[in-house]
Amino acid sequence: MRRRIRLAIAILMVACLGGCQLKPGTGSGVAVGTTSTTKARSSGEAGVGVALAAKVAARPGPMEISREQLRALEEMTAALERIKDDATADAVLPELRKAATRLRAANEQMEALQKEMSDTDRDAAQARFNDPEVQEQLNKVIDASARRMHASLDAQINAPGRRKQIQDACAIGNVRPPKHR
């Protein structure tokens, strides 16, 4: 349980504390330039550059990814809270897996973004961490993670015959799923 809380904290802290600036040339925002794929393709190498620039520019930043993580956690919690017995677990598991898959995708986006971030000085990182919006988002993710873990435990108690399936569905959301012993 503590491991998952630490993971949620680490994901958000590294994204915001470790540096929210991307390496030069990988900034986010709205792509400027041609939107016509025909026009972009006809310009040879420039077309490839425009397509790549549009892909990079369209990539979400750490706060957007964190918000997606939060939405996925809340969906997982809502699904888990509906599990009252083995029969309801069977009905809810597909929805739980879908939300966990969304969480995993967001976690993978965050991890990829962290690898691209440049190192920043300590003062700049501290200033970003002290940003009220970052603090609010961090608190939301921590609370949502705790609620999801609590709901997972309750669901496993309510549906003991589906305990393993519930655990496996929740583990889908992890970037590096735990190894079963």
Residue 45 structure tokens: 């190498």
Average the pLDDT over 67-84 and give the result.
Answer: 96
In sequence order, what E strands does 80-143 have?
none
CA distance 83 to 92: 7
Phi, psi for 179 (deg, rounded to 5): -80, 135
Q: Which two tokens stand for residue 90?
A: 């069977």
Phi and psi (nearest 5°) for 117?
-70, 145
- C-alpha distances in Å from residue 20, one per residue of 26, 56, 70, 179: 12, 15, 19, 31
Task: Report the percentage of the chain scoring pLDDT > 70.
Answer: 59
Residue 153 confidence (pLDDT) above 70: yes
Does residue 49 carry a pLDDT above 50? Answer: no
For residue range 119-131, list pLDDT tens digits in order.
556 666 677 778 8
In the chain, domain spans: 2-20+62-171, 24-60
- Residue 62: per-residue pLDDT: 81
Q: How far apart are CA 49 and CA 94, in angstroms?
A: 40
